[in-house]
């Protein structure tokens, strides 16, 4: 298990290094890089996965059917 973690961390480090190298080529400084990273993180909208949304719709339909039966 720890070997998998080491492999994953190496991949992440490589991705971050390549990203930083691209930023350096574009002339982006460290401060601007961090600022852009924060803006990117704030722009992410957390949404439930489609499978959960489908499950919630099915439950709502069941509840509506039960409510119709009891009414």
Q: Enumerate residue ranges in the chain where pLDDT < 50.
A: none
pLDDT of residue 53: 85
pLDDT of residue 71: 65
Q: Which two tokens stand for residue 32?
A: 């601007």
Nearest alpha-carbon partner for 68 in 60, 55, 57: 60
Q: What pTM does this model have?
A: 0.55
Residue 46 belongs to domain spanning: 2-70
pLDDT of residue 47: 86
Number of structural domains the chain divides into: 1
Q: Which two tokens stand for residue 46?
A: 């957390």
């Amino acid at each position: 298990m720890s070997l998998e973690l080491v492999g994953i961390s190496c991949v992440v480090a490589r991705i971050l290094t390549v990203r930083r190298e691209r930023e350096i080529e574009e002339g982006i400084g460290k401060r601007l890089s961090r600022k852009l990273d924060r803006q990117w993180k704030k722009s992410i909208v957390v949404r439930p996965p489609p499978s959960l949304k489908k499950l919630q719709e099915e439950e709502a339909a069941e509840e509506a059917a039960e409510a119709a039966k009891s009414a």
